[in-house]
Chains A and B, each alone.
Chain A
Amino acid sequence: MISKNLTAASTRPIILGVLKQGNSYGYLIIKRIKEMSQGKMHWSDGMLYPVLHRLEKEELIRSEWVMADNARPRKYYHITEKGKQALMTERDQWLQVNSVLNEIWGIEPTS
């Protein structure tokens, strides 16, 4: 199980990353993360929403309600240009952390 702190720290890049792959709504985002981490990252579902709010306020993502005739109304989030840049920055930082750890543990860098 991945620790709470690490989970919390990685929330931003993960959500931005998921949204970079395509627009999505809250429940789907959570579902996707759970699938990808194979249940190793512990998320309470509710905690997603404050983060989404914050990202939206920072203008990294935008949201809009989508009303379909035969489905529930859903609030779809999509990543903005600013969000994509933020994601790049996060990615660089995570990779740097990753390469430092790799070096320490004697693993050849993969990229």
Chain B
Amino acid sequence: MELHLRDHIDDLLSEGQTERQAFNIAVQEFGEIKPMAQEVYWSQRPKSNNNFLINTSMLKNYVKIAVRNFMKYKFYTFVNVFGLTVGLSIVFLIGLFVNDELNFDKFHDNADNLYRVVENQYYAGQPVFPVAVTPIALGPSLLQEYPEVERFTRVSNEDFLFELGDGKILERGGIQVDEHFFEMFSFPIVKGSVVSFKEKLNTLILTEHLAEKYFPKEDPTGRTIKLDGEEFIVSAVIQDVPKNSHLDFNYIMNFQDFLADNPDNANNWGSNRLYTYVQLSSATNLENINEKIKGQIKRNAENSVTDIYLQPLTDIYLGEVDFVVEVQRKSRMMYVQVFSIVAFFILLISCINFMNLSTARSAKRAKEVGLRKTIGAHRRQLIFQFLSESVLLTLMAVVLSAGLVSLLIPSFNQLTDKAFDLTTLLNAQSGVVLVLGVLGMALLTGLLAGSYPALFLSSVKPVLALNSQTVSVKQGALLRKLLVVFQFVISVVLIIGTTTVYKQLKYIQTADLGYNKENIVYTSVSGSQSKLFADKLRAQPGVKSVGLSNRHPAYVLSSSSGFQWPGQNPDEKILMHFMGVDEHYMSTMQMRLIEGREFLEADTAVVMINQRAKEMMGLDEPIGKSITSFYGEARIVGMVNDFNFKSIHSEIEPIVIFKLDRLSRVYVKYEDTYQGKIAATMEGVWNELFPDKEYHFDFLQQDFDDMYNAEERTSKLSTYFAILAVMISCLGLFGLVSYATEQRTREIGIRKALGASVKTLFLLLTKDFAKLVLLSLLLSIPLGWYAMDSWLQNFAYHTRLDIGIFVISGIAALAITFVTVSYQSIRASTSSPVKALRNQ
């Protein structure tokens, strides 16, 4: 067009016009600019219309500009990528964890048709008493009477003493099952067959690792091994039980072996001693069958207060009901939910970092947007450009987090007691799903993180962007502040959560259980020899006292509603737990006597009760009263304080303690200084008395720690999550402060030149952010209170939510923010004003 004008002017000049006249005429004839610009626009528009959203010819340019931007603002790129990497890694790890938890027991082919029979027992004045174990006779009767039941198996846990050659080891993890166990559950057979197992007595199935232990590098099938003195033939080897099976065992025997030795037990309806599983036909309606079988125990056992129902196999692991005698491998749905929410929030925090930094820095990109718009970019294309930029960034984070996750998996496995392995995960059929899932996640994260910046930046008015220096920094400032507040609310709630979980864990670990679990080691011997063993031990140095009992102090699960006492309401059934001890047990466990006296050696037919039992029995003066049970009539001689004989999740229940003989569990209280030596001392005495028996012992403290594994794990995980959340939030804040300070360099320079002190400047730069964090504190305290109060309700005995937790969390959050903000503020306020002003 310029050349056109020049040609025209030349022509006009040659026609004799003056230069000014020629120029004026040429310009006038050229026409008005506006309609012409419109015409140009319309004629150019179809170019972008071909491909409205994605302009393929621009893709290369987008990537080029994105990479340039990443390189130019390395610090911000780092903050974004690092935050997203950590966020995504956590999401991946928690995703693996949650997926595994949700798929517990689903590997069985029949998983959908398998159920465990569980009980609800009802006693007067007591809440429903859910029990996971059932009578021996229940399984066969269900199969016989209900056509819907296709198969059943009982699973009874029993540990045996293995003897092979000279070695004797008490092997844990033995189960006795019925013949259809392998048709119901999918535990793959590696060697041998389970046919002879079904048909013959005294056959044994080993898991791979146990087979390797006893028959290294040999084929164990057909070999014999002594179990509790009886010979068993190994008929098959099966794969080790996967980590995501609630059934956990090392070897299997036929339940008929037990019945052959105890034929009277086959029709036992009275004692709940094993787990019963059934397989229903596919078309069965669960509600209907539950209604039918509900009274099965009541119909067979007189005076029973027990209803039964079927619990789907896949609900066992995450079930919310606290069954008595529950399997060891058990978690709660609540933890799965909490961790999922936490993962989501941590990812959100890192996305917010991205949004905040991108919008804050929008001025730097506004010119680019202005220019792109001027030369014809459409808003949708700009949105696409910025979204693709954030997706690109997220993909970088995905690649990095894949590396990070593979590094973290061993520790994560240890922490969560899982067995994740990236190579198997990727090789498996789920590999494709996994990769697609990860990419989908990246896309989603990129879109989430990039959505606001993209909408925001693409809305910039080109004229403003090209004209002014400081466009749109102020725009979106409120939203940025809200997002920062949101981030810190999450972080502080996580800090509060972590502190509370930790406090509860400490509370559990140091709670007054009503007895002292410290410095106690225990073992089992045969009841006839326990007294001799105990007497010998008492003579050893370092041994304070030795008590005998027939139960573990934290797992007293035997209970009966058959107790009778004077003044009892004959219509009411009260379930009471019971255990047997000798005269030294109370003092060994340091239980407190409230009334009456302790047991004496010469005592026979005497019992003690706890305070709760006194309340439930409605006795004002229990001492001297008699109580009748299956042990006959006994006199109450003393009352002990309430003590936790179960998990601290449940409330203390009534218990009757009998003075018995021939008790097999030996509890040894030792001097603190003998911690390292006590095992050897006991082993010495053991070998002297029982030279041909394998010695095994446990520490009470260790059992206790195992009991609260889930809480311990939650405590650790939540600590890590809280640290990471705070770290990512602070990283974002650091980025924002850096940017704000950078923007105000000139202002700071001028203020300094005019005499502002470092202190004033520091306050000026810090106060805005401090206000935000304070606001978050105010918001997060009620939220944290509510959340943690609900969590604590899971425990019958729990710590208090005191102001201290909130003060500590608040101070921690403030301190961390302060350090984050100060670094940049101090740097800016101490820098030389000359430099600041010259550079600008």
Report Cα–Cα, A50/B4, bound state, in Å.
14
Q: Which A residues touch B291, using CB under 8 A?
A: none
Cβ–Cβ contact A46 & B7, under 8 A: no
Which B residues from 1 to 23 make CB contacts under 8 A with A?
Answer: 1, 3-4, 6-8, 11
Least CB distance from B563 to A in Å reads 99
The residue that A45 contacts in the complex, of B6, B31, B42, B47, with Cβ under 8 A, is B31
Is B29 an interface residue when CB atoms closer than 8 A count as contact? yes
Report Cα–Cα, A40/B169, bound state, in Å.
116
Cβ–Cβ contact B36 & A44, under 8 A: yes
Q: Which residues of B contact A (CB under 8 A)?
A: 1, 3-4, 6-8, 11, 26, 29-33, 35-36, 39-40, 42-44, 46-47
Which of A27, A46, A54, A72 lies at the interface centre, i.e. has the most chain B CB atoms within 10 A of its CB?
A: A46
Residue interface mask A11-33, B partner, CB < 8 A = 1: 00000000000000011001100
Is A73 an interface residue when CB atoms closer than 8 A count as contact? yes
The residue that B1 contacts in the complex, of A31, A49, A72, A73, with Cβ under 8 A, is A49
Number of A residues with CB within 8 Å of any CB on chain B? 18
Q: Which B residues touch A53, using CB under 8 A?
A: 40, 43-44
- A-B contact sample (15 more), CB < 8 A, given A31-B11, A47-B39, A72-B6: A26-B4, A27-B3, A27-B7, A27-B8, A44-B31, A45-B30, A46-B31, A47-B31, A47-B36, A49-B1, A49-B4, A49-B40, A50-B39, A50-B42, A53-B44
Report Cα–Cα, A47/B35, bound state, in Å.
8
The residue that A27 contacts in the complex, of B4, B36, B39, B46, with Cβ under 8 A, is B4
Least CB distance from B508 to A in Å reads 77
Can you identify 6 A-B contacts, CB atoms within 8 angstroms? A44-B30, A44-B32, A45-B29, A46-B36, A72-B7, A73-B3
Cβ–Cβ contact B3 & A57, under 8 A: no
Q: Which B residues touch A31, using CB under 8 A?
A: 11
Q: Which A residues touch B4, using CB under 8 A?
A: 26-27, 30, 45, 49
Q: Which A residues touch B44, using CB under 8 A?
A: 53
Identify the closest chain B residue to A72 (Cβ): B3
Q: Which A residues touch B7, using CB under 8 A?
A: 27, 72
Report Cα–Cα, A49/B39, bound state, in Å.
9
Is A84 an interface residue when CB atoms closer than 8 A count as contact? no
Which of B1, B7, B33, B46 lies at the interface centre, i.e. has the most chain A CB atoms within 10 A of its CB?
A: B7
Residue interface mask A64-85, B partner, CB < 8 A = 1: 0000000011110000000000
Q: Which B residues touch A47, using CB under 8 A?
A: 31, 35-36, 39
Identify the closest chain A residue to B46 (Cβ): A57
| Interface of chain B: mostly helix, strand, loop or mixed | helix
Identify the closest chain A residue to B6 (Cβ): A72
Q: Which A residues touch B39, using CB under 8 A?
A: 47, 50-51
Identify the closest chain B residue to A30 (Cβ): B4
Report Cα–Cα, A9/B506, bound state, in Å.
89
Cβ–Cβ contact A54 & B31, under 8 A: no
Report Cα–Cα, A45/B44, bound state, in Å.
19
Q: Which A residues touch B1, using CB under 8 A?
A: 26, 46, 49
Least CB distance from B661 to A in Å reads 106
Cβ–Cβ contact B8 & A45, under 8 A: yes
Identify the closest chain A residue to B8 (Cβ): A27
Q: Which A residues touch B11, using CB under 8 A?
A: 31
Report Cα–Cα, A94/B74, bound state, in Å.
64
Identify the closest chain A residue to B47 (Cβ): A57
Q: Which B residues touch A26, using CB under 8 A?
A: 1, 3-4
Least CB distance from A18 to B in Å reads 15
Report Cα–Cα, A86/B673, bound state, in Å.
107
Least CB distance from A102 to B in Å reads 33
Q: Which B residues touch A50, using CB under 8 A?
A: 36, 39-40, 42-43
Report Cα–Cα, A51/B40, bound state, in Å.
8
Q: Which B residues touch A57, using CB under 8 A?
A: 43, 46-47
Q: Which B residues touch A44, using CB under 8 A?
A: 29-32, 36
Least CB distance from B47 to A in Å reads 7
Which of A49, A50, A72, A75 lies at the interface centre, i.e. has the most chain B CB atoms within 10 A of its CB?
A: A50
Q: Which A residues touch B35, using CB under 8 A?
A: 47
Report Cα–Cα, A30/B47, bound state, in Å.
26
Report Cα–Cα, A49/B120, bound state, in Å.
89
Residue interface mask A90-110, B partner, CB < 8 A = 1: 000000000000000000000
Least CB distance from B13 to A in Å reads 14
Report Cα–Cα, A30/B31, bound state, in Å.
13
Identify the closest chain A residue to B2 (Cβ): A72
Report Cα–Cα, A75/B1, bound state, in Å.
10
Which of B4, B36, B44, B47 lies at the interface centre, i.e. has the most chain A CB atoms within 10 A of its CB?
A: B4
Least CB distance from B39 to A in Å reads 4
Least CB distance from B630 to A in Å reads 101
Q: Which A residues touch B32, using CB under 8 A?
A: 44
Least CB distance from B14 to A in Å reads 13
Q: Which A residues touch B46, using CB under 8 A?
A: 57
Report Cα–Cα, A47/B8, bound state, in Å.
15
Q: Which B residues touch A27, using CB under 8 A?
A: 3-4, 7-8
Report Cα–Cα, A27/B26, bound state, in Å.
11
Identify the closest chain A residue to B32 (Cβ): A44
Identify the closest chain A residue to B10 (Cβ): A72
